[in-house]
Amino acid sequence: MRASYLFKRLLGPFMLLLFLVQQPGSVSAGKADPVALMAAVDKSAKAEGAKLDDYELVDQDWVRFRLSEYFKDGRPLVVSFIYTSCPMVCPLISTEFKKAVDEARGKFKDKFNVLTIGFDPANDTPEKLKAYGTKLTGDLKTFRLATSDAETMKRLTAQFGFYYSRLDDGTFDHIDMATVVRPDGTIYKQVYSLRTQSGNIKARLDELITGKAYVGADATLIDKIKYFCYKYDPYTGRYIPDYAVFAGFFIQLFVLIAIVYAVWGTRIKGFFKKPGKV
């Protein structure tokens, strides 16, 4: 009877705590419009699972090819997006993208393909793509860059879930992400914030190539806890607590303690009762 009373007394404060921890805090994205950013990320996430159409592209050497050519050899494809006249952000993205790809190739060799797409067809000519790629990668044998006409690029970027918007000065606002595509041409996962989280490319490739959830061999205990209790927030480029996981854990713990106390409460109190005390 007393155990039941105690359970009821604890249930109210616990549910209040549960309500409080489940309320998500606000997120920020630097100077970017948070509404536009959230809409862009949501749209890109919804593209996951989509079967890509076939598009005709032209690479840095004026070689014309079709996107479907990448889906005939059973290898995943990693796609990044840039525009060659970008003054700062795209070169940083491409630099980190190359580092991530080089690291992945160290483990998976040639088991995946890589393609960088210039989404500004008016300026991203094959010549400019070649100059851009040569400067940033130094090796165009394993890094291919391509573009297409304006209409094709509009449809392609929309299907990939890639957001960009031209500004008054001719530059672009665009989302910082790469897309990992399955060997059958369906979008597997988006990888956000290449400037800070490019290592996630290797993680997604590991999942596709090995068929197992990725936890790096060099991951620390804290890293492993993050995989379980935290989720990646593409709006901030950081890991944030997964409140549902925490809430589920504490609910189960609370119920377990309540059951143990209700069944063995008297014995437990008797065990800790001081000798001679009546």
Specify the pLDDT at position 155: 96
Q: What is the CATH number of domain 34-235?
A: 3.40.30.10
Task: Give the residue-averaged pLDDT of 19-37.
Answer: 43
Structure tokens at 203: 């993680």
Q: What string of DSSP letters covers 136-185?
A: HHS--SS-EEEE--HHHHHHHHHHHT--EEE-TTS-EEE--EEEEE-TTS
**Mean predicted confidence (pLDDT) in 215-221:** 47
- Per-residue pLDDT at 16: 37
- The DSSP call for residue 54 is P
Domain ranges for the chain, please list them.
2-24+242-272, 34-235
pTM: 0.65
pLDDT, one tens digit per residue, over 159-168 is: 999 999 888 8
Rg (the chain; Cα; Å): 26
pLDDT score for 257: 82
Model pLDDT for residues 74-128, shown as the tens digit of each residue? 999 999 999 999 988 888 888 889 989 999 999 999 999 999 999 999 999 999 9
pLDDT at 23 over 60: no
Q: What is the pLDDT of residue 136?
A: 79
Q: Taking residues 213-235, what's their average pLDDT?
A: 48
pLDDT value for 193: 80
- Give me the mean pLDDT over the 139-162 stretch: 91
Query: Which pLDDT does position 55 carry in this prediction?
Result: 96
Mean pLDDT of the chain: 77
Is the model's pLDDT at 6 over the cut of 60? Answer: no
**Confidence (pLDDT) at 194:** 80
